Amino acid sequence: MSAPSAAPARPAATDLDRLAIDTIRTLSMDAVEAAKSGHPGTPMALAPVAFTVWKDFLRYDPADPAWPNRDRFVLSCGHASMLLYSLIHLAGIRRGGPTDADRREPAVSLEQIKRFRQLDSVCAGHPEHHMTAGIETTTGPLGQGCGNSVGMAIASRWLAARYNRPGHTLFDYDTYVLCSDGDLMEGVAAEAASIAGHLGLANLCWIYDDNSITIEGETHLAFTEDVARRFEGLGWRIEHVADANDAAALQQALRAFKAEQKRPTLVIVKSVIGYGAPKKAGSHEAHGAPLGAEEIAGAKAAYGWPADAQFRVPPEVPEHFAQTLGARGRQAYEGWQKSVADYSKAHGDLAGELRDFLDGRLPPGWDKGIPCFPADPKGLASRVSSGKVIQGISAGVPWFLGGSADLAPSTMTLVPGAGDFGPGGYAGRNFHFGIREHGMAAACNGMSLSGLRPYCATFFVFLDYLKPALRLSALGGLGVIYVLTHDSIGLGEDGPTHQPIEQLANARAVPGLSVFRPGDANEVAEAWRVVMARPDRPAVIVLSRQNIPTLDRATYGAATGTARGGYVLLDAPGGKPDCILIGTGSEVQVCLDAAAQLAASGVKARVVSLPSWDLFEEQDPAYRESVLPAAVTARVACEAACGFGWEKWIGFRGRFVGMRSFGASGPAPALYKHFGITPEAVAQAARESLGAGV
């Protein structure tokens, strides 16, 4: 195939700029070729775009990639990861900040690039922020970076409203995103764009690579909408750049973004994928496969590059980055450091709070507002007790904030007096995400990446609607807190479409995610204490719609056992049980009532509350044995959900009392009886398990 006739002519540019752009392109080609895996076309096409952003606009200090007021650059089209790795290497980004021991080490060395997509390289197939400095967020699943960027832009606005004062601007960073056709096809990007447009996030710029190619072929196969008109309808400013190689046009579009005060900006850039490659340019083949030696030689010839040079970095290129991005970023960073020092003198009332935030430390006495709930046979729905705890934490942690996907009255996440975050003002801490579960969760990931402690809420059955973002919370170690209510058939009349039978198993299967299903109000309080103390681990807190008795802790085990994931709630006489009954959430009371029935017939039962499987697994073997002794094989687990996974705790002789089908519509008490989730059923299962052990 010959070079496409539509390939744009190169506009005038400095020789040094052109050399830098072509270095990015050739590094990307060589790395993909060495790995025999990857996507060379998009890095080749977008090299001029990314270079222009970094050289002329991005406020970033390579010596401190974690500087809180840096501009953010997000590569949402994560398959183009070599574009980002090339930039990080050429810009000289360091592994850590100025005070870190390894600050002199490059975040991405040339040797690491040579091992692109290999097991021991920091240059993974798709960018992972926890692995490599200079990467703002983990991208790969398309649309997620777009969603994260909205959270980053939100964080900048909230931090500015909270801490900036006349003469002291501490937070005013912008967020730039490179996104693709694939990103904009994904629903999460549409949800995120709608949120950003509604909020008027003028500090957010998406640069859309309109190259008309996806993996299956040309986009007209499935994507023929007018993107500009869609985004105009969402409240965005639109800029057009007809040629990705036209630096002047890109600069003009980005200056318009910087001048915009009311709307986020979408810059639509036309590019030719694999620009410069003689055969595969413009084809979907250049998108997802190495070019091959012949294609690379042709591309390098088009760039005027030595044909036999591999991983070539002319020394002038890093120096060019240092004199532009580096010098600008260093000056901005030093000015910011002075502003923080001056701020501490002028605003002592906020200086301590700001230091806690910047250091990632919870304020002193942060949890003193968490209530201790008195024993109450009637009790509270755990969603209600959680709401009271959220209010208590909000009083002690200023950057603890969040909201619901249009369900705040049901999820109890609204904090009175905390104000609303919205286009009329960015100081509020109550967020109204609208019915956009996926966009909500992705934005919360971006807020977490910016140092905030966000929570988001919906009904547990809608876990599927936000699961991709939740998975990335866990993969990236982001402390987003998911408040998921209406946790079982106990929600009643809404019926099986809203009864999350399988979702506990779904959530528990995610590595790095803590899942809590607390059994009463004080377990709720303890779960929140644990979650807040672990900012690098996301959590799901699963809560009931119906009331749960608040247990008398003078009679039962202390709720502080929640911090260990599971504990003995009620022991058998002498600590020698015949059987063990294990419950979570609202079914803890079912187990307690069953134990009383068994005791009346001479069977000694221990009741264990197991609100968090993952935390219990983290405990030492001796503790786990003290709660679930191996010698006691007669066990029953009770949970108003499917039994998938419970065999780990009950063994081959154990029994499970719970759901084996979808639910039904009806009052909660009738449903529990209909599906056999009763004390009588648990007691009978215990007798059967005892019989199985004979």
274-285, pLDDT tens digit by residue?
A: 776 665 544 444
If you ran DSSP here, which 8-state letter would residue 94 be given?
B
The answer on pLDDT for 525 being more than 60 is yes
Helix ranges (H only) for 74-143 are 81-91, 110-114
Q: Is 437 a catalytic residue?
A: yes
CA distance 587 to 637: 9
Q: Which pLDDT band, with edges at 50, 70 and 90, does 87 fall under?
A: very high
Handedness of CA 319, 323, 325, 327 (dihedral sign): positive
Residue 1 lies in a domain: no
Mean pLDDT of 498-526: 98
Q: Are strands 605-609 and 655-659 parallel, antiparallel or unpaired?
A: unpaired
Q: Which residues contact 112 (CB under 8 A, 6 or more apart)?
A: 85, 121, 122, 123
At residue 645, what are phi and psi to the nearest 5 degrees?
Answer: 100, -15
Mean pLDDT, to the nearest integer, of 28-47?
A: 95
DSSP codes, 642-669: E-TTTHHHHTTT-EEEEESS---SS-HH
What does the H/E/C string look like for 283-346?
CCHHHHCCCCHHHHHHHHHHHCCCCCCCCCCCCHHHHHHHHHHHHHHHHHHHHHHHHHHHHHHH
564 and 543 inside one domain: no
What span, in angstroms and rounded, lies between the C-alpha atoms of 83 and 86? 5
Residue 289, pLDDT score: 79
Q: What does the pLDDT read at residue 98? A: 67
3-state helix, strand, coil in the chain (%, to 5): 45, 15, 40
Contact 636, 583 (CB under 8 A): no
For the sheet containing 430-432, what is the strand order?
430-432, 400-404, 453-459, 481-485, 539-542, 514-516
Asked if pLDDT for residue 358 goes beyond 80, the answer is yes
Show which of 498, 529, 549 is a domain's final residue: 549
Total structural domains in the chain?
Answer: 3
Q: Which residues contact 519 (CB under 8 A, 6 or more apart)?
A: 548, 551, 569, 583, 584, 585, 586, 587, 588, 589, 609, 611
Pair (604, 524) in one structural domain: no
The stretch 527-551 carries a mean pLDDT of: 98
In 3D space, the residue among 413, 406, 421, 547 whose CA is nearest the CA of residue 481 turns out to be 413
Query: What is the per-residue pLDDT for 38?
Result: 94
What CATH number should be reported for the domain holding residue 503?
A: 3.40.50.970
| Residue 388 in tokens | 């009271």
Residues 638 and 677 in one domain: yes
Evaluate whether 510 touches 547 at the Cβ level (below 8 Å): no
Are the CB atoms for 71 and 173 separated by under 8 Å?
yes
Overall average pLDDT of the 449-472 stretch: 98
Q: Domain check: are 116 and 240 in the same one?
A: yes
Q: Are 212 and 181 in contact (CB under 8 A)?
A: yes
Looking at the fold, whether 30 and 171 belong to one and the same domain comes out as yes
Distance CA 670, CA 490 (A): 10
**pLDDT score for 288:** 64
Domain assignment of residue 666, yes or no: yes
Mean predicted confidence (pLDDT) in 319-337 = 98
Lateral strand order in the sheet of 175-180? 72-75, 175-180, 204-210, 265-270, 237-241
Q: Which domain holds residue 623?
A: 558-692
> So what's the pLDDT on residue 345?
94
| pLDDT above 70: residue 7 | no
Q: Return the higher-pLDDT residue of 322 and 221.
A: 322
Same domain, 540 and 579: no
- State the pairing for strand pair 217-218/213-214: antiparallel
Q: What is the mean pLDDT of residues 433-453?
A: 98
Residues 113 and 166 in one domain: yes
Longest dimension (CA), the chain: 92
Residues with Cβ within 8 Å of residue 99, at least 6 apart in sequence: none
Task: Judge if 221 and 263 occupy the same domain.
Answer: yes
Q: What percent of the chain has pLDDT over 70?
A: 95
Are 277 and 421 part of one and the same domain? no
Q: Given a cut of 60, is residue 188 above it in pLDDT?
A: yes
Question: What whole-number distance in Å separates Cα of residue 446 and Cα of residue 154?
Answer: 8
Q: Is residue 370 part of a domain?
A: no
Mean pLDDT of 102-117: 92
- Per-residue pLDDT tens over the stretch 615-659: 999 999 999 999 999 999 999 999 999 999 999 999 999 999 999
Contact residues for 340 (Cβ-Cβ < 8 A; gap 6+): 170, 354, 358
In this predicted structure, the answer to whether residue 2 has a pLDDT above a threshold of 60 is: no
Over residues 56-71, the mean pLDDT reads 97
Contact by Cβ (8 Å): 544, 672: no
Mean pLDDT for the chain overall: 94
Enter the tokens of residue 5. 């006739």
The predicted model scores a pTM of 0.95
| 560 backbone dihedrals φ, ψ, rounded to 5° | -60, -15
Higher pLDDT, 217 or 168: 168
**Residue 361: inside a domain:** no
Do 516 and 581 fall into the same domain?
no
What one-letter code names the amino acid at 633? T
In this prediction, residues 595-611 reach a mean pLDDT of 98
Domain boundary pick from 549, 566, 582: 549
Is the pLDDT score of 48 beyond 60?
A: yes
433, 533: one domain: yes
3-class DSSP string for 259-285: HCCCCCEEEEEECCCCCCCCCCCCCCH
Percent of the chain residues past pLDDT 90, beyond the cut: 90
- Choice among 295, 437, 587, 639 that is catalytic: 437
Residue 459 lies in a domain: yes
Per-residue model confidence (pLDDT) at position 10: 42
Report the Cα 672 to chain-centroid distance in Å.
Answer: 35
What pLDDT score does 14 carry?
81
And the tokens for 167?
């003469």
Residue 8 lies in a domain: no
Q: Does 179 have pLDDT greater than 50?
A: yes
Residue written as token pair 């290129």: 317
Q: What does each C-alpha distance from 591 to 19, 579, 607, 682, 686 come to in angstroms?
A: 71, 12, 7, 7, 10
- Which residue in 445, 627, 592 sits closest to 520, CA to CA? 592
Which of 100-114, 127-141, 397-411, 548-562 has the lowest average pLDDT? 100-114
- What was the pLDDT predicted at 278? 64
Residue type, 230: R
Beta bridge partners of 421: none
CA–CA dist 501, 487 (Å, integer): 8
Instruction: Clarify whether residues 492 and 568 are in a common domain.
Output: no
Give the model's confidence band at 102: pLDDT under 50 very low, under 70 low, under 90 confident, else very high.
low
Q: Is the pLDDT of residue 534 over 80?
A: yes
Residue 51 lies inside a defined structural domain of this protein? yes
| Interval 115-136 mean pLDDT | 96
Residue 609's domain is classified under what CATH number?
3.40.50.920
Residue with tokens 């790095």: 512
pLDDT at 403 (0 to 100):
98
Asked, for residue 343, whether it belongs to a domain, the answer is: no
